[in-house]
Structure 1
Amino acid sequence: MLTPSINLPVALAAFSIGSILALNYPIGQFIAPICFLLCALLAFYRLSLFPIIIPVIMPIIGFAPWTGWLSFEELDLLILATAAGGYAKSVVEGKQPSPKRTSLLFLVLASSMSASILISMFRGFADAGGFVFGWFQGYDGPMNSIRIGKSFFLALLLIPLMARLQDNPENNISQKLALGIAIGLGTASLAALWERLAFTDLLNFSSDYRSTALFWEMHVGGAALDGWLLLTFPFSIWALRNSRGNAQFAISLCLVGLALYASLTTFSRGVYLALIVSLPLLAWQTRGHLKDAEKQQKIPTWGFFRWIVALILLGTMAGLVFPAGGYRGLLALLGLVAVAISIPSVLRGMPFALFLTGGMAGLLSGVLLIAIANFLPKGPYALYALILAASFSSIYWQKIRKARTGEFVCTASFFALLLAAGNVADYWGGIEAFKGMSGALAMLLVISLWGMFSRQALWPNELRWQGSLVTAAIAACGVVAVFVGGDYMGERFSTSGKDFEGRKSHWTQTIAMLQTPWDMAFGKGLGRFPANYFFAIPTGAFPGTYQINEESGNAWLSLVGPKHPISFGDILRISQRLPLSSQGPFELNFKIRAKTDVGIHAEVCEKQLLYPGGCAIGNVEIKGTAGAWRPVHIPLVGPLLNGGPWYAPRLKMFSLAVGTQSGTADIDDVQMTTFGGQNLLTNGNFAHEMERWFFSSDRDHMPWHAKNLLVNLMFDQGVTGFVVFLLLTVAALWKVNFGSARQHELAPYLSAAFIGFLMVGVFDSLMDVPRLALMYYLLVLYAFSIGQRGKVVHLGVPSNDVPAGQYKR
């Protein structure tokens, strides 16, 4: 905790820097300064809300495609406002910091990492030819070193404030942070869900559309969404296990389901592998915690082994149904699973003769109803839905009334539902689908009968447990659908060996760029990978570049095309967001000069980041202009862009690019008009540099990333930064697994988050995404501040009954 004498200058510095950033925010003259001031005031009066607020909005707060800001972003404003208000409150209160011990190891590692980042930042300035400040520099400018380096210091700025909140147990800082991270997982997952609804079918697993959510940093590829999901996913399990009441539990189940869907639609082999490792590890680490929770809440649970067996069985059944039965067959199977795990509790102990009679009645009535339903439009689906509703109703009433007639009705409806599910599969996919569904129904029937007639219950008769199993069944069905129903994922796994060899070659080339002893010791400099890769790797890998030039008060955009053969996805695009109401037709006017003949590509696409939907496109070949500016008019040809459904609107983006291999062109005075002659572009003369402009490389990603977290650290910060990062991470993992924080309620979730994040980092850089780096460093540094005691909390409602020291892991 900082001393009172330090609190004042820190508050003033945070407020001053944040105010400068807010006043220069590209969109809206007063919106950013007003929001900054309001956030600072909120932090002053309610600092304890920010452990929730910051992670909640972190995955959705980046607006670079609208603003053109790359070096700074809205999250910086939020953190600086929090620091300004929080440290100012410490000054006003005049409180001495608590006598809480500060780990010497923490001080050494935090200081070492700070020094390493500062050294590498200045090396980055030197590598870029000297420091030049700019609001809109790209990845090849010196400001990129600040963009990458500021994340650790922003995290470090928050740690004393979190320590101050921890001084008062009533703040429940650990629980609020966990809740905020869980909701932040939800906001990212909802953004991914919107993207899928807007730009591809919800259940389309065959196209190569990979979710990016609102992580604009993926405009040149990378794994920003992947890293966020693995860093936050364990906290959805925390929310699930600590929810109070069925409503909170249902919301937590939905959160887990959303996160699983977002993870599946990344189509990332690294994400799948990391989940397979981190989630079972989390289950193993929390097994003792669950036993204590059972004693308090009397919630029966299964052991780790039984859950694994259940997932295997569910996956097997889904694998039998989906290839020919499709999603309709899976939905029918899921309904049956929900009934099958509920019905044994109401039928256990019933006479076998009554069960046999009810089963025969259900089979006969099911056959009769199917014969009638098959003559009606969509009859098999309607019949299945009707019998499913009747099954749940009979189970509910039997739990209340406990009558023999209720047992008979439950049995009959269950067997009728089995036939109706088989009929759904046959109606949709024919005899092959029926065969697959029959195998799954036989497995489910055997398990259900075992549960009905066993002496002891095989699984808990508890709504939360049943909801968890149904969620697991949905996840198993989703995994099967991705791998069986989508050719894209199969193709990705079939090329895993080749891709890994390519990654190893890329890593070798990256390390080879460290040519001097100083490079090896301290790296080339933060954020210098793209600029060095452009010139150190054979010219065929050059992805193109852009620059704002100025002469005699006139600014223009210089564009250079890739030096390899160009496809639609390979060109380097300079883009600007358009209003949602923009439909077309579109006409483009601009001035150009080029020394040699060059092709210009222009488009307006319904597009979130990398993958276009509908497009209006124009191309033109320009003859060399011998240094003179020439006006160009391009009509964009394509359908009217209606913007998609109201519940998932499609964003629109105008893009301009050089469409000739190694072509160069200067462009100025860009105007794009639609019906009525209204110009839709801002700063088309580039007088304000790249304000409101953005760039992307849709498919050419290797030149922008080292593609490995540790290799990237080695390149940026050398052996020094590499070693310090490893020590910092290992120390945090040691503390939450074997050290003084091992009994803290968040310890297993932090451990799983770190491990999942690092596993994704095996195949991507991650730390070159400031938002991800900030969150990772914040959690690692926070791990050093937690001790042995905590509280058992149900979604923010504390209970002092069981101290964390009683948890056994």
Structure 2
Amino acid sequence: MPAPSLMATHEAMPAAGGWLGFGPLQLHRPRTGLQWLALAAALALGAVGAELAWHHPLSGPVALTLWVLTALAAALMWVKTPALLLAPLALIGLAPWTGWITFEEMDLLVTACGVGGYLGLALQVNARDRAPAWRHGLVFSPPVLVLLGGLALSAAWSVKRGFADAGGFSFGWFHGYHEAMNAVRNAKALFLVLALTPLWTAAAAARPRGFSRGLLLGLVLALAGACAAAFWERLAYTGLLDFSTDYRTTALFWEMHVGGAALDGFLVMTLPFALLALLRTRSPWHFAAGLGVALLAAYATLTTFSRGVYLALPLSLIPMVLLADAQRRRTAAASPDTSHFDSVLGPVDQPLPRLAKLGALALAAAFAMAAALVFGGGGYRGLLALFFVMAALLSLPASLWLPTRGQRLVSLLAGALLALLLGGVTWALAQAIPKAAYALNLVAAGAFAALRWQDRPGVQRPVYGLLVTTCWLWLVATLVIVSDHWGGPAGRWTALSAALALAGLWALMLIEPRLWPLQGRAAAGKAGWRKRALLAAGLLMVMALVAALGGGGYLRDRVATWKEDGQTRLTHWRDGLRLLHGGTQWLLGKGAGRFVASNFYEGPVSTQIGDYRLRRDDDEAYLALAAGKHVLGRGEQFRISQRIPTPAVGPATLTVVTRTAADAHLMVQVCEKNLIYPDNCFGRELLLHPAPPADSPPADSTAPATAAPAPHPNGWVTQTVPLGPLPHLGGDGLLRRFVTFSMALDTRGARVDVARISLMDAQGRPLLDNGDFNREMARWFFSSDRHHLPWHMKNAALHVLFEQGLLGLALLGTAFVLALTRLSFGRGRDHPLAPAFVAALIGFAVVGAFDSLLDAPRIGLVFFTLLVLGLGLRALPGEGVARVA
């Protein structure tokens, strides 16, 4: 059949500019109706994006310049705009600095990609001949188009109902969760994706493989960005190995300022693509980079301490592996030329024999048991020594099994005796020389590595087998010595038990080679290093889990309280659904973005949260701050905060102009804080009184400035108080921590108006920006560190039901099931990325069973990108599974 070869020839034409696909710039005037429509879409998105960029709270000119540069990049690489859109997504949430929540940098990025992409399409930048219809990689059938239209209409209607429930539409750059623009914030993700869908359809028609590669690259880089931010956060705020502190990683997802699972949802939707790329890449350098991303992702996943994520990963990754394996086998069965198949995809591994499967299970169980035993007595040092033992075991050469069984038995017995002698000498040196145990462990590992390097595949060398066996058993002995040195008798005996189990299992596998799981042509040939590296990475992940469970009580406590937390969730869901009144609200929903306000006004009084509004009095802006009516602990307070420069060491001075109708306590603090976990806080609590009557005696003008508040007209009172002295905050170098000023009411149900607030450090520098609120809420950001339930429905399906009703839930559920079905069993099942799409959607559903997710726009953008593309992606004739990775 000539079609595949024609496709391969067309797609293989090299681009002059390399992988980006642009060389000397070539432009063409729009000729077709589609190109003129693309030009109109670019102009429309350009108007919106430029307006947003110019109003950016930090700097309009800078934001506009970056927006234009991004649009130019998108025009040059319009086929791969998914990479440009998705790659920085986890790092561009600047709400804690800007105060923006309705609009954000994600909107600027989408509009820039849309402007550039549609201009590239309209002007046919570096255009190639349009691919024939049978090569279009993204095609939406008429029923799917009707379904997408229904989703868009449902979301638009929910925005309209949200405006109506908020008292009518009113525009604001800094609206909060109670105001009308919150409807836009909650619903915009779907419309942003639909705005780019025609561009992506054209890109997938022009260069389907380039589009898929761009999508894969964008998702993998997005995961890398999120994990790098999580790694920095742990390193800066808690330490990498602190699994006891009540601190759940948030990275740079500002959407978690009132709780939620934004990072959780992002991880489960992007991690499958990184793992799929890791399994399929054939480049050692790409494999090493992918393995690094996967390990970072495992660490970030572990430090979320999210039971939903821990449940979602096996439930999503197991189907991904099965679908990927079925995909490869179908490709192999359809290709009569096996050599061509092997050169493109690599060999399809045959299933492990029954005894090899038994050996693999035994090794996994032995390592898990050994890790738990060693960590309990030998700590992190013992666990690291155990990793050396297992890594050496996984790297054992296949030539060890070439000698006869008798020769292998002799090597085993002689090696055990020699290793016992070496172990005795090592123990004596460890007792005589401080820290020698660790150095000798490294010496044993180095000796094994040197021996492994001397392997001659296919050559029978009994003496070499004896030396390798001796060296590995010596390494096992140093594991016991390291644990004994660190943990004393407890470490010695637990490590000895683990060592005997591992050595016994290894002896059994050496005698009976059919138990050894790393056998066959893949393990012995070019693919062997990949399999061993993946197994070593698996060991690291198991070690991390053991360390988290054994080295800290926080995760154990989280796991232990699942039943109580589940009951709390059920009660919260029932209370949330009671806020829907009448058949119309059940059918069409209460409106986008209205859960927080509905729960505030109609929920139990004891759960009412704090709030803020920006008001004006005689053309002067002021902040109306209200406290919640629930129990106000330090973590449950509603805070208004601002990221500030690092203050100078010494006393700071706070000046605040307030008005209150009753006594209230105002807590002001300067803390090291990323998002919702304050640390190293310095502040004080101000007791605010109503202004004295106009005819009361004036305050003593000779008194110190901090002795008594100074009254002003209209009930305003000025207070100047010392704050500190502040130590050195923020850290140094790459581990700098954010410094945040916050204020919160510590009186239940109180209301305080704040007209002006300023903070001067010891050098007289002003630390607060927009302290008079004349730029509305620019630079100010709100959070609730511990009191989270009133802010979310805590279930993605119920969230959609509340906002869009049963009709919207049915439409979204139908689209979700249809995407899963066609990617697993339908036309899209052989698309190279289909297994990862299925895993990502399943992961979203599992995490979404315990959290809303869709009320975080960045998470909604990723979800709707996967959902919409999943409804249209299809495999192409002759398209190899691994050609995208």
Normalising to structure 1: TM-score of the pair? 0.94
Distance 1:364 1:662, change over 3 A: same
Q: C-alpha displacement at 1:221, in angstroms?
A: 0.1
- Separation in structure 2 between the aligned mates of residue 477 and residue 206 of structure 1, nearest angstrom: 16
Moved more, 244-253 or 527-536: 244-253
Q: C-alpha displacement at 1:49, in angstroms?
A: 3.4
Quick check: 1:607–1:653 contact (8 Å CA) kept in 2?
yes
- Separation in structure 1 between the aligned mates of residue 624 and residue 47 of structure 2, nearest angstrom: 35
Q: Which residue of 2 aligns with 1:234?
A: 272
- Separation in structure 2 between the aligned mates of residue 231 and residue 537 of structure 1, nearest angstrom: 33
Q: Deviations over 1:103-134 (max 9, x none)?
A: 11211111001110111101000111111100
Q: Which residue of the other structure, out of 769, 782, 786, is the alignment partner of 1:682?
A: 769
- Separation in structure 2 between the aligned mates of residue 358 and residue 310 of structure 1, nearest angstrom: 21
Q: Which residue of the other structure, out of 511, 529, 532, is the alignment partner of 2:595?
A: 529
- Separation in structure 2 between the aligned mates of residue 132 and residue 795 of structure 1, nearest angstrom: 50
Q: Which residue of 2 aligns with 1:192?
A: 230
Q: Which residue of the other structure, out of 164, 182, 194, is the alignment partner of 1:144?
A: 182
Q: Which residue of 1 aligns with 2:288?
A: 250
Q: Deviations over 1:22-53 (max 9, x none)?
A: 11111123111111111112222221332212
In the alignment, structure 1 residue 657 sits paired with structure 2 residue 744: yes
Q: Which residue of the other structure, out of 306, 317, 326, is the alignment partner of 2:370?
A: 317
Q: Which residue of 2 aligns with 1:64?
A: 95
Quick check: 2:250–2:263 contact (8 Å CA) kept in 1?
yes
Q: Which residue of 2 aligns with 1:375?
A: 432
Q: Which residue of the other structure, out of 813, 817, 835, is the alignment partner of 1:726?
A: 813
Please give the secondary structure, in 1, of the residue aligned with 2:574. Answer: helix
- Separation in structure 1 between the aligned mates of residue 243 and residue 402 of structure 2, nearest angstrom: 45
Please give the secondary structure, in 2, of the residue aligned with 1:13. Answer: helix
Moved more, 392-401 or 749-758: 392-401
- Separation in structure 2 between the aligned mates of residue 148 and residue 624 of structure 1, nearest angstrom: 39
Distance 1:7 1:98, change over 3 A: farther
Moved more, 454-463 or 380-389: 454-463
- Separation in structure 1 between the aligned mates of residue 443 and residue 875 of structure 2, nearest angstrom: 53
- Separation in structure 1 between the aligned mates of residue 211 and residue 300 of structure 2, nearest angstrom: 28
Q: C-alpha displacement at 1:587, in angstroms?
A: 2.2
Quick check: 1:618–1:634 contact (8 Å CA) kept in 2?
no
- Separation in structure 1 between the aligned mates of residue 866 and residue 651 of structure 2, nearest angstrom: 49
- Separation in structure 2 between the aligned mates of residue 634 and residue 796 of structure 1, nearest angstrom: 62
Please give the secondary structure, in 2, of the residue aligned with 1:163. Answer: helix
Letter in 2 for 1:125: F
Q: Which residue of the other structure, out of 417, 442, 458, is the alignment partner of 2:475?
A: 417
In the alignment, structure 1 residue 609 sits paired with structure 2 residue 668: no
Q: Which residue of the other structure, out of 795, 799, 809, is the alignment partner of 1:712?
A: 799
Distance 1:265 1:465, change over 3 A: same
Quick check: 1:3–1:97 contact (8 Å CA) kept in 2?
no
Please give the secondary structure, in 2, of the residue aligned with 1:643. Answer: coil
- Separation in structure 2 between the aligned mates of residue 353 and residue 84 of structure 1, nearest angstrom: 73
In the alignment, structure 1 residue 507 sits paired with structure 2 residue 582: no
Please give the secondary structure, in 2, of the residue aligned with 1:637. Answer: strand
- Separation in structure 2 between the aligned mates of residue 635 and residue 447 of structure 1, nearest angstrom: 68
Quick check: 1:344–1:448 contact (8 Å CA) kept in 2?
no
Q: C-alpha displacement at 1:738, in angstroms?
A: 1.5
Moved more, 768-777 or 738-747: 738-747
- Separation in structure 2 between the aligned mates of residue 575 and residue 770 of structure 1, nearest angstrom: 22
Distance 1:600 1:242, change over 3 A: same
Q: Which residue of the other structure, out of 569, 589, 592, is the alignment partner of 2:635?
A: 569
Moved more, 532-541 or 341-350: 341-350
Quick check: 2:154–2:804 contact (8 Å CA) kept in 1?
yes
In the alignment, structure 1 residue 436 sits paired with structure 2 residue 494: yes
Please give the secondary structure, in 2, of the residue aligned with 1:32. Answer: helix
Quick check: 2:352–2:517 contact (8 Å CA) kept in 1?
no
Instruction: Write the mapping of 1:331-730 to structure 2, written as runs, cut at 5 A.
Output: 331-350=384-403, 351=407, 352-399=409-456, 405-456=463-514, 457-459=516-518, 460-461=523-524, 462-580=528-646, 585-625=651-691, 628-637=715-724, 640-730=727-817
Quick check: 2:648–2:726 contact (8 Å CA) kept in 1?
no
Q: Deviations over 1:41-67 (max 9, x none)?
A: 222222133221222111111100001
Q: Deviations over 1:374-424 (max 9, x none)?
A: 222222111111211111111112347975554343222212111110111
Q: Which runs of 5+ in 1 are unaligned?
A: 798-809
Please give the secondary structure, in 2, of the residue aligned with 1:398. Answer: coil
Please give the secondary structure, in 1, of the residue aligned with 2:679. Answer: strand
Please give the secondary structure, in 1, of the residue aligned with 2:123. Answer: helix
- Separation in structure 1 between the aligned mates of residue 850 and residue 717 of structure 2, nearest angstrom: 46
Quick check: 2:649–2:725 contact (8 Å CA) kept in 1?
no
Please give the secondary structure, in 2, of the residue aligned with 1:286. Answer: helix
Letter in 1 for 2:302: L
Please give the secondary structure, in 1, of the residue aligned with 2:836. Answer: helix
Quick check: 1:52–1:181 contact (8 Å CA) kept in 2?
yes
Please give the secondary structure, in 1, of the residue aligned with 2:858. Answer: helix
Normalising to structure 2: TM-score of the pair? 0.86
What number of residue pairs does the alignment pair up? 797
Q: Which residue of 2 aligns with 1:153?
A: 191
Letter in 2 for 1:359: A
Please give the secondary structure, in 1, of the residue aligned with 2:453. Answer: helix
Q: Deviations over 1:213-241 (max 9, x none)?
A: 11000000000000001111111111211
Q: Which residue of 2 aligns with 1:782?
A: 869
Quick check: 1:179–1:239 contact (8 Å CA) kept in 2?
no
- Separation in structure 1 between the aligned mates of residue 857 and residue 495 of structure 2, nearest angstrom: 48
- Separation in structure 2 between the aligned mates of residue 375 and residue 634 of structure 1, nearest angstrom: 61
Q: C-alpha displacement at 1:793, in angstroms?
A: 6.7
- Separation in structure 2 between the aligned mates of residue 302 and residue 467 of structure 1, nearest angstrom: 19
- Separation in structure 1 between the aligned mates of residue 323 and residue 121 of structure 2, nearest angstrom: 37
Q: Deviations over 1:616-663 (max 9, x none)?
A: 222121222255211112322365134235232211111111121222
Q: Deviations over 1:497-556 (max 9, x none)?
A: 111111111111111101022211111110111111111111111121111110111011
Q: Deviations over 1:179-199 (max 9, x none)?
A: 221121111011111110010
Moved more, 57-66 or 89-98: 89-98
- Separation in structure 2 between the aligned mates of residue 767 and residue 393 of structure 1, nearest angstrom: 53
Q: C-alpha displacement at 1:480, in angstroms?
A: 2.0
- Separation in structure 2 between the aligned mates of residue 551 and residue 87 of structure 1, nearest angstrom: 46
Letter in 2 for 1:706: M
Q: Which residue of 2 aligns with 1:800?
A: none
Q: Which residue of 1 aligns with 2:71?
A: 40
Q: C-alpha displacement at 1:796, in angstroms?
A: 5.5
Q: Deviations over 1:726-785 (max 9, x none)?
A: 011111111101211111111111001000111000000000000111111111111122
- Separation in structure 1 between the aligned mates of residue 652 and residue 342 of structure 2, nearest angstrom: 63
- Separation in structure 1 between the aligned mates of residue 70 and residue 362 of structure 2, nearest angstrom: 49
Greater gyration radius: 2
Letter in 2 for 1:718: G
In the alignment, structure 1 residue 134 sits paired with structure 2 residue 182: no
Q: Deviations over 1:68-97 (max 9, x none)?
A: 111011111111111112222333349999
Q: Deviations over 1:319-373 (max 9, x none)?
A: 2222222222211111100011122524223423344333322220221122112
Moved more, 310-319 or 522-531: 310-319
- Separation in structure 2 between the aligned mates of residue 314 and residue 290 of structure 1, nearest angstrom: 31
In the alignment, structure 1 residue 8 sits paired with structure 2 residue 39: yes
Letter in 1 for 2:839: A
The RMSD of aligned alpha carbons is 2.3
Q: C-alpha displacement at 1:682, in angstroms?
A: 0.6
Q: Deviations over 1:695-714 (max 9, x none)?
A: 00000001100000011111
Moved more, 353-362 or 186-195: 353-362
Moved more, 563-572 or 305-314: 305-314
